[in-house]
Structures are given as C-alpha cells and as structure tokens.
Homo-oligomer: A and B are copies of this chain.
Amino acid sequence: MKFATLRNAQIDGQLLLVSRDMQQAVSAQAIAPTLLNALQHWDTVYEPLQALYAALNAGTAPSAFAFDPAACTAPLPRSPQWLDGSAFLNHSNLMDRAFNKPAPPLVETVPMMYQGASDDFLGPHDDVFLPREEDGIDFEGEFGVITAAVPMGVDAASALDCVRLVVQINDWSLRALGPHEMKTGFGFVQAKPSTAFAPLAVTPDELGAAWHGGRVQMPLQVQWNGDHFGQPHGGEMNFHFGQLIAHAAHTRRLTAGCIVGSGTVSNAARTAGSACIAERRVIEIIDHGQSSTPFMRFGDRVRMQALWDDGSPGPFGVIEQRVAKYCP
C-alpha cells in the first residue's frame, strides 16, 4: 500500500491511500483518520485498508480523485520519535575528515544515531525557511522506515519485522553549527532544523525485489537547481534497518510510528556523486586540496527521487524544495 497525508486544519492531517501508479488517491478516513492512528491500530485497519487499496487500483473506489503531491504534508507530519542513523560508513568516514576528527570508536560495529525533533516535519514541496545562509545550509538524501511498536531489547532480525512503512527523507542540516554540537557530545539540536519527507510512505512489498536485506535497493537521484548532483544507491548501507531499530530500542521501547533513518545515502564509487553538499566538499578537499562547492543560497532548490532499476520514478514520489529566508 501507498499512503499519503492531505494537509488540513489538524496536526496529523488526513490519511489518503494512493494508487500503485501514484495517479489516483482516496480518503481512508472512514478506516483511520490519520496515518499515525493507522499505525497505532494496524492489526485492525490492515485488511480494510487493503480492500480499499485494491478497489483504488482497480478503478472502482468511490470518491477517488487525482493525486496531488503538492497538497500533502509529510506522511507523518509529526511522529513519536525520529532517530537518524549514519549507516553508510562511506559518508561518515568522509565526514570525519570534514570535521577533522578521528573515527569514533566501534564505528564499524555499532551504528551512530542521533535523536531528532519529530514534532514539525516538512512536506515534500514545503519551502524551507532558515535564518542565515552562513549557517551552511545543506540537504541530505536518505531512506527511512516507520516502525510498529518495538519492544525494548529486540534483536536485529525481529526488529526488521517491525518495519511497517518505507519512506524517503531530506534531512536538512546546518553545517556551520554541527561541529560545535558534536564537540559537546550532546548531539545535534541547532544543526538539524525540520526534516522533510517525500509524499508517499509505502509498505515494503511495494518495493518488490528492491526491499532486500533490510535495505532499500534503489538509487536516490539528487538534483540541485536542476543540475545532477548525485545518484548513490541505497544497497550500500553498512547497517540494515533491523540493526538500526535494534540499536534505537536497546534500552527503551519504541511506540508505533517511530521513524528510523539511514543517514545520507553514500557510495564508495566517486561516479555515484553525493546526496549532500558536505560530502562533495570533503571529496573536493581530498582530491584538490580545497572545497569549491558552496552551501545553498536562499532561492536554491533541491529535488530528490528514488528510481527503479530502469530509471523510472520510484514509489515514494518527489521531494522538491526551495530554501527561503526566515523573517520573524
């Protein structure tokens, strides 16, 4: 199933089912008012949702309408927790060079993960209002999963069974603020403004063979102001999503609807390009002694879209956002 959330006057929006071809949508409100509610009552709502999804795909759902991603919030406009890993070690290795710090201990065996704000996510076409260009405005293309309720101490294999939905993420970052927050050891607060999501959250079966090994086996196409920026592949994740969920639940239970992210998609092959500017900049430093790519300016646009193997648009829809100056 493919889910989206229609913006309305409520915090959690209104739950939509979207057809497999992403052309048609139907309100699922009679079954569950919101996606968070559906995740909290999954066993009860699963079959009615599947029946409605089948009707929508067959063209027989009453009140179906043309799907408009621009009318959507993030699939979950807020979630119980947003925990973002750094599961592509190629990225974290390069970033350690950027921050001029030694690799953290156990980096190859224990996932790195930060707790982000989860009360105010951005929709796929929302402008990104930020106060200062000099904070080092950067995008980060990622994949993520939305979980069922997860018991404390779950093992990685069981944790993978807790994946309810798969999502595509733009984890906005302010690079000038990150190094100080890392040095405190307390993690990111100011360096991580609101995170954005592609319009569709999909059940793993929608990915077919591209959901394999607990990873999204798809390239993530990233364009900056219309130019190609990178197309790294999600299959190179060093930790799979079950391992990330198990790490997050080591000493706490997770409630239904928690979002666990992969961290920036990153590949060892330089030809893949990058899914964030910071990574390109550190590659420039390594290759040429200095970085030449600046961070984003107000008015800049970023576009992200996962692709099927044949290059056709993937199942999550498109993130396309513009950075704008925040004026109080």
Contact = CB atoms under 8 A, between A and B. Distances in A.
Interface of A: 78, 80-81, 83, 86, 99, 101, 104-107, 110, 112-120, 129-131, 135, 151-153, 174, 177, 180-191, 193-194, 247-248, 250-255, 258, 326, 328
A252 B184 contact: no
A180 B106 contact: yes
Which 7 A-B residue pairings sit nearest by Cβ, starting from the closest? Answer: A187-B187, A182-B185, A80-B119, A114-B186, A104-B184, A115-B115, A190-B250
Contacts of A185: 99, 101, 104, 181-183, 185, 187
Contacts of A247: 189-190
- Chain A interface, >50% SS class: loop
A153 B182 contact: no
A185 B192 CA distance: 14
A189 B117 contact: no
B115 A188 contact: yes
Nearest to A96: B185
Contact of A255 (B99, B120, B130): B120
A60 B5 CA distance: 46
A186 B86 contact: yes
Given A104-B184, A194-B252, A151 B117 contact: no
